[in-house]
Each structure stands twice: as C-alpha cells, then as structure tokens.
Structure 1
C-alpha cells in the first residue's frame, strides 16, 4: 500500500527531474523506502554524523542513502559494528561487521512516522555469515518480529517471522559459516488462507519459497512496532557477520522486481543468483546472463557491469563462493572497487560462470609449448554492450600459467593462448598473474600451466608439498595440481620455517610433543578419491623438507 504523503514535494521533485533529464538511481531500478549502503559516500560515520568512518572504525551513525534522514544510530559505544573500506571487503566493496554479541543499529520512529505502513512490504539485506547462531538481523521492533529476517536456530535457514504461528517462513536452503548471502522477504497481509494470514515470498540468494496458506500471521501494524533495527534483536540473538546493504520497500515486490534487485545484489557482492537457475536482469528488465543459454556453466557466477538507473558500477569482481575464483576487472585491478579508476559505459555487462569442476591444472593437453595441463574448470562469458579489454587474473603459483580462449567448450591447441606468467599484480597482499584480453560474447576460457612433478613422476600424484615454495604457517600449498592444500588456522599449532636449513633448503619445524606439537590438516575428503586407495609416501625427514604423496 502506497503512502499518500508529501504529494506536493514528490510532484515538485518529479518535475525537476524531468526538466533536467535525470533519473534517480535505485537498486536494480526498484525504488526503496529506505536504503542503507556501506559504499555510499558520506553515509557511514564514527560519530553523530560529522566524521566519516575510516577503516576498522566503529559505526555510530549509518545514514539513509536517499537523504530521508531516517538514519540508523547506536549511542552505546560497546554495541557498535565495525566499518571497513579496505581490510575486510565483500567483492571489493565496503562492509559493516556485527560481532554476534550485542552490536546493532536502529532507526527510532518519531510520533506519526512510519518507514512503511507494514500492511505489505519487503525487506532485503546483503552480507555474510561468520559464526552460525540463531539471531535476528533486520526487522521492525526490537524483537524484529513485526516482521523481520532471522537465522533460525535449529537448521540455520533464513526465517521470515511475523509473530507466528510457529516458525514456518523458512528458506529452502540453509546459511553456512563464511557464506556470502542476499536475503529478503516480501509480504502482503490478508493474502493467505483468510484475512488473518499473510502471503510471503522468502528468498535466499535468489532461491524463493512461497507461502500463501496459514503459515504466517499478518504483520503487526501497531504503533509500537515502527522502529527498524539491524544486527541484533532482543529475544532471538545477535547476528555474527556482515550486513553491507539493507533495504526496505513499501510493497511486496513482484517477481520481475525481485529479479532486477537480486541481480544487482548478486553482481555487486559476488553471490550466485538462484544457483544459476534464473536469468540475471538489468534495471530495464533485459537479460544480461541467460540461464538457458549458459546451462551447465551456472556455477560461481560473477560479473562486472554498469547500470546507471540501477545504481550499479562494479568494475572488478569474482565469485565470493568458497575456493579460489577467477578475478576479472577493467583496466588495472585495485584493492577495492572504488579504487579501480577504469570504468565501464552505461549498459555494459560482462558476466561469467563455470562448469563446477576443479580449478587446478589436472587435465593433460598437448601441442602448446611450455604447457602440459589445463584446468578442469571451464568458464563461459556473456558480454552485453561490447565490453572491451579486461584484465583476467589468477593467483600466482603455477609454472607458465596461461589463459586459453575458445569458441566452444572443447579446449585444445588450436585455441588462443595468452601467457600470464610474466605479468604480476599484487591485490590486497596477494600476487596474481594476469592477461589483458577481450572476452567475446559466448566465449569460453580456462587456464593452463606446466605441471612439474618429483622426478618426472606425475601419474596419480595426489600431494606435493615443498618447503621452498608455497609454505606459510597457515597453509602449505600443494604443487601436484590437485589443490590438496594443507592448513592450520590455530596459531598455537602452526608449524614454522626453522632457522636451520637442510642442504641449503628450508626446514619446516613441527615442534616436539604436547603443547609444542604442530600439525596441518588434510583437506576434507582428500587427498584420495576413494577409501582404501593404495599409496606410496616419500618424505625427507629432518623436520620434513618436502613431502610428495602418490
């Protein structure tokens, strides 16, 4: 239900926009009632609205991005979340992190003030999970129950709650620790089984669950439930993780509006929209990634794009799904999206997805000088608006790393090969190899390298750990091409490079016993492809120099 307020002001603003030929930028071209963006210039403050928050500063005030004055506040210093624009980013965009203990921000509605009337509406948030725990993260009233978005304690699903009956407004899939997400729900009072029940659409990363029976009571319309809060409620618990963008809409969004909004959020934050089962749409409703055309390449979808009406200008991007992902951007890559000086033209999109296979050079390929194997993973591109030269980057670590571009999914020596090993760029402390190329619409690409092996023995090699290359206390990188990297997140149990050496090569020190014992963890389900596999283990044991496992 639309509010019939400030008609004169709205009409005047519309006339002014028409005179100047301007259009307001809204997420995906869908106008919110309130919109909180961590990346909006001059919107996040470490005090009461005069000092812009710097990296790792706490947030006292988060201004509504459209200038409504309906700002989120926290007067208690110990309950403030933390802002970052460099040290902790979401697909190279700024973040606001809540500690899972007591952090929250709130807009407290004055007399006669409503963000929306709550007869119908939609709430959306984009962020990431840190610790899995039941919590509320965006909603009306201190409880976030009238209505609001929660993490349900028993199964970690997204819960849209209106006060009952029970806890039935759940997403189909669950949230997981470390997961980046877009989450939202739209509701319409009286559209359920009868006038006492609401209909709702609950969406987690674009996968939607519909409710239209007696699962959800109508949203509470009392004046005591007009405040809007993010980060923690007063009964279900405090959210642990990032909330980087939060929006409230006056109406229950249509399917087309959700498509455009969730495309905007997916591209901006690197999440895969609807597991690749839905088309990505720009603010005009035009398809910029076709689920049908790109079937089979729907994994780890990410993209860059500019949509002025849709408030999007993502200049570099990767999938924020788990594992190493390809990084693609305009011009010289930077530490943040804002720091990338090379932009796109309005209407340009470059979106890619992969086949879901291993992102390691484990498929033999012949006929390319200096190359022995390619990645099993193959990517496909949809290029809208003639995006030109882009920089394609992969983390340094492979010998003779190269990019292969193909007109089809059959990768061989007849395809275009571009060397990457001579080109290096450091992004946020990580060194990448890169190639500057044009990725045409419908084109496929993958990476290839020269895979060395101990003594030339490559067949069935599972793990090859080398002390002189690829070791840090947190991760010992596998050189077999199988990405069986060994890790240790507990600093007290991490091995280290010893002061001594063995025949001028580094020694990795695993300590002694008891409290001094150090170890690293084998990747889950690896290194073998099946239980009971016969194997041979070769080591040099002083304190372990290198460790090939076949």
Structure 2
C-alpha cells in the first residue's frame, strides 16, 4: 500500500495538530499507509470541508468545484502496476471529453505534466459516467476506459482504476464500479509514471473540480489478488452503506478472508441491497449502525449489545415487491399477511442483540402499531409455523422499530400483520378460476360486494416468482351486487402458467389473492392428492391416458425451497402413489412434471 486516507481519521483544520470539527475547512488529510504522503492545501480559499456525518454515519470531505488537496509523488515508477479505490459521491457533475481537460475531475495531477492518472466525468449515451483518463510519460496514448455504470448523484460509489503493466505485451488500463470490471483499454507496453496527485480538481482548470464527497481513498503499487480485492471492497461497502454489484455474484469477506455474506451459495437468492454491521480490527472497521443508501431498501440495524473483533451481522433481500402482500406463507390465524419481500441474515461471531427498524412509507394502506409483527423464520421452511415467536414493536410515523432482536445465522425475516387492514376488505371474492380452450385460457372471477374498488391487476408467471403485468381491469367502485369479470390469455400446449389477481382501491391499498395455476394438458389426464391437510403420508392418485415416461414429484415450501423430491414412471392407467412425509407444519406446493406433461400445481397443507 502506498497511500490511504479516510475521512473518519486524521483530518486536520491546520498542519496536523487540530482535528477538524464538523463543517470546518480541511488543511491536511493524513496518509495512514505509513509512507507520510499527506494531502494538504495551504490556500484557505480552496480548502474542502469536513462533515462529521454523511456516509452511513461516517464523516466525509466535501469538495465544491474549486476545492482540492495536493499529494507529493507516491514513488510508483512508470513500469509498476497500479490500483486505486475511491469512495465518492458526485452530487452534481459536468462532463468533459475523453481527450481534453474539461469537465469535473475527482483525481488529476498538480501541474500540467504529460503523464496522467485521472478520474473525471464524461458523457456517454446521454448520461454522465466515470472515465479513467491516462497518458504515458511521452505524451502518447491519451484516452482510457469509461464506466458503463451511470454516476449516481444520490449515493456513494466505489470507483476503482488499475494499470497492469506488461513489458513484452499490451498494458491494460481498467475501470470498475462497485467491484465489477466495466471497461478495459489495451495499449502497447508503455511507461506511465503516476504524477503528484491533486484530489478533487483539475491541475490547471480552476473550475474543473468535483462537486460532492470523498470518504476514502486507497492506492497500491501492485494489483491486489482477487481475494484481497474482495476484502477491500467488502470493507468499504459495509462501512459506507452501498452494495457490491451482484450481476456476477460475489461474497463479502472479512479482512482475514472469512466469508461473512455467502452471496454465491446459501444466500444467492438474497443479494439485493446487501448491508451489514461489524467490527474488524484488521481493516479498522467499527460499524455499529447501518442502513443501505439505496432508495429501494428500508432496513436499519444498530446498537449491537456485544460487538467485538470478528463479529458481523449482514443482510440482503430477495427484492420482492413491497406493495403486494403475501397471504399464503403465514399461519392464517395469528398472522394474516406479510410483506412479499423477505430478507436473509448472515451472522458471524456473536454481536448479541440489535435494534431493528424498517421504514414502511412505501407500503400501501394505514399502519397500526398493534397489528405489526417482525417475523423470523429460523428453520428455513417459511413463516407459517412461527418457529420464532412474532415480535411486537413501536410504530413512529411509518417507522416500525423492534428493540433487542436476536438474529441467528441464516435467519429469514419480514414484516407481518395480525389484521387484514384497519378498514373492511375492499371486495368479497367468491371465485377465481381458469378454463382451458384450444388456444386460450379463460380467467373468471366473481365478487358479491365491492367497496371503493378502482381496478384489478391480472399477472402471469411461469415459475410463481417472476410476474408479468397482463391487464388492468376496471372495478365497480362500491356495490353490493353480484359482479362477474373475465380475461382471456393465449397459451402454448403443455405450458404451465400461474396467474394471480390483485385488487387496488381508490386509496392505493391493495389485496392480492391466492395464485392459481393452469396447464392445458389432455383433459383425460387427472391428478388428485389426499388427504389435504396431510400429516405423515400423502396419496397422489393419477389417471393417465398414455405413458409419459420418467417424472418428478416436488414439494416446495413458501420460500421456494425444495423439501421433497420423488421420481417415478408415468404409465397409462390408474395408479396411486404413497409418499411418506416428515415436513413441518405449514403451506406447501406440490408439482408433478415430466418432459411430456406438466400437471397444475396443488396447494398442500401439512398439519
């Protein structure tokens, strides 16, 4: 490591003796690498400003167009590898070109030298992006790679650049955003000596500076290994409340290499807005309060009762809707509905208990404190069995808080309600069914009363998880008379389809009903399951018009986890299959399919 500055340590309002207080100008930002390359600014009028909170509760150094700090040469020679990590938020950005000195600069040199190692703003595809501008010692090969990720004015981004030198082949210049390699430029072997650094502004363009915050910069005179890069990125993401890009799954690691969020394995379905708290003496992390900066995330964890070195509590979501509730994966008596979105926890060490809160502003309808529960599924079979007793909390505005929560590794959690709503249900639905025809499927539903019913939403899915909005059908407002509704959808032979119906009232409140499945197979082929509810054995009775080959019976829980798998031969005629069960109480789905036939799914209740 050649250079390391972070806004939560050694930021001074003078030449290194008085630490900055909130909203004071920065004269010196000390290098923590041990090399003494402090960033300084002798001129008071162009000093950036220190703020004690601004990045997930951590300090920031704020630049305003003309502000900058200078750093002497880092002593990296022109044929060395180079890598730099920059945690930055550009609240506004002016774009320049890839081959000029215009636009806003996060990093440049102190004087107009030939050699360049810059980060600046350019426009690509009509949006502002990060650009790694480089030029060799002889003034040649001006250019560089541009990020594909757009600059986010509302959140911090981890922008990383590196140079891989090769004396006998091409030298690579690369740019990454939030851990993902986004672009590479290849040039013939060239000598490029990193110049004296200017942080926050262009060397000679006095208005070519960034507008926004820097929280941490780390620079190496080598390329960290993939594992070490992962450690650095995990530390920065946890600390500053942003998520590593999971378009290619990547685990979060401690400074010692321990997996603290297994995004590639057990938690692969819960990789949206990964966030955490933890303490790691190896990296200097001590984050006891975190909320992801994403506008799509609503969870905060804080005040761990026993946080010490090596302890982490991490969580990520399945990114399901916050609008439409789940009324199936609940016990149906104490808890009547829950959020469709579910989070999963990874717990390393022992942080003790935490204070949990969730902002429910986005959730439609009125919220009543007495109705709300924090639901925790500790055994992975869904929330219907309440294996962890639902927890009550305090509702302040739209913020629901539960103090002293004890999460275990692998827990799932969400929010449930013991009431279907503080007002009467908008509609009384008497049926929702599907009927197969030669090339279409008819959906029909009826109501016997409606209250403030604006419209219905019909959705279709091939897997029961990812839904396509097909049609909005106008409701009848308020009525006490019998109403019939219908919708016709096309289909392909033997294609399994799921449909669900959501009602939306004039206030924006919603009610989603149990999904139905429709598979237009040979009308002579039938499947019946009994008893239902079942306890320790299930009978599957089949009446088949012909042989269908090898098939699988699957039973999955409400989280989509496979709980039972049986294989069999489907032969013409009547057959009854006995399946022994050892499943926990709750709601399940039974699927039977082969390459030649797919039966409609069956809802199964285990007592």
TM range, smaller chain: 0.5 to 0.7
- Give the equivalent residue in structure 2 for 1:46: 13
- Give the equivalent residue in structure 2 for 1:152: 122
Match of 1:284 among 256, 268, 282: 256
- Give the equivalent residue in structure 1 for 2:405: 437
Residues 433, 199 of structure 1: alpha-carbon distance in 2 compared, 3 angstrom cutoff: same
- Give the equivalent residue in structure 1 for 2:62: 97
- Give the equivalent residue in structure 2 for 1:353: 316
- Give the equivalent residue in structure 2 for 1:256: 227
Q: Within the alignment, does 1:120 sit opposite 2:120 as a pair?
A: no
In 2, the alpha carbon distance for the partners of 1:128 and 1:530 equals: 39
Q: Which deviations, in whole Å up to 9, do the C-alpha atoms of 1:407-427 show, x marking residues without a partner?
A: 226332534243343377x9x
Q: Within the alignment, does 1:37 sit opposite 2:9 as a pair?
A: no
Shift of 1:379: 0.7
Superposition pairs of residues 500-511 of structure 1, within 5 angstroms: none
Residues 368, 75 of structure 1: alpha-carbon distance in 2 compared, 3 angstrom cutoff: farther
In 2, the alpha carbon distance for the partners of 1:232 and 1:253 equals: 27
Shift of 1:444: 0.8
In 1, the alpha carbon distance for the partners of 2:105 and 2:477 equals: 50
Q: Which deviations, in whole Å up to 9, do the C-alpha atoms of 1:52-109 show, x marking residues without a partner?
A: 22222222221223454322122333322221114xx21111112222x2122111x2
Residues 372, 183 of structure 1: alpha-carbon distance in 2 compared, 3 angstrom cutoff: same
8 Å contact 1:283–1:310 — kept in the other structure? Answer: yes
- Give the equivalent residue in structure 1 for 2:488: none
Q: Which deviations, in whole Å up to 9, do the C-alpha atoms of 1:234-268 show, x marking residues without a partner?
A: 45932222110011112122222211111111111
Residues 530, 166 of structure 1: alpha-carbon distance in 2 compared, 3 angstrom cutoff: farther
Shift of 1:273: 1.5
8 Å contact 2:291–2:301 — kept in the other structure? Answer: yes
CA RMSD for the aligned pairs?
Answer: 3.4
In 2, the alpha carbon distance for the partners of 1:54 and 1:219 equals: 42
Q: Which deviations, in whole Å up to 9, do the C-alpha atoms of 1:339-377 show, x marking residues without a partner?
A: xxx552222222111001233572236546675431111
Report how many aligned residue pairs link the two structures: 416
Q: Within the alignment, does 1:375 sit opposite 2:339 as a pair?
A: yes
8 Å contact 1:324–1:359 — kept in the other structure? Answer: no
In 2, the alpha carbon distance for the partners of 1:217 and 1:55 equals: 47
Q: Per the alignment, in what secondary structure is the counterpart of residue 250 of structure 2?
A: coil
Unpaired runs of 5+ residues, structure 1, are 1-31, 332-341, 461-479, 481-528, 539-546
Residues 97, 408 of structure 1: alpha-carbon distance in 2 compared, 3 angstrom cutoff: same
Shift of 1:122: 1.1
Q: Which moved more, 1:65-74 or 1:309-318?
A: 65-74
Residues 188, 392 of structure 1: alpha-carbon distance in 2 compared, 3 angstrom cutoff: same
Match of 2:156 among 149, 155, 180: 180
More helix by share: 1
Superposition pairs of residues 262-281 of structure 1, within 5 angstroms: 262-275=233-246, 277-281=249-253
Higher RCO, Cα 8 Å, sep 6+: 1
- Give the equivalent residue in structure 2 for 1:238: 209
Q: Within the alignment, does 1:213 sit opposite 2:209 as a pair?
A: no
In 2, the alpha carbon distance for the partners of 1:343 and 1:121 equals: 39
In 1, the alpha carbon distance for the partners of 2:470 and 2:130 equals: 35
- Give the equivalent residue in structure 1 for 2:281: 308
After TM superposition, the score normalised by the length of structure 1 is: 0.67
Residues 372, 204 of structure 1: alpha-carbon distance in 2 compared, 3 angstrom cutoff: same
After TM superposition, the score normalised by the length of structure 2 is: 0.61
8 Å contact 2:331–2:383 — kept in the other structure? Answer: no
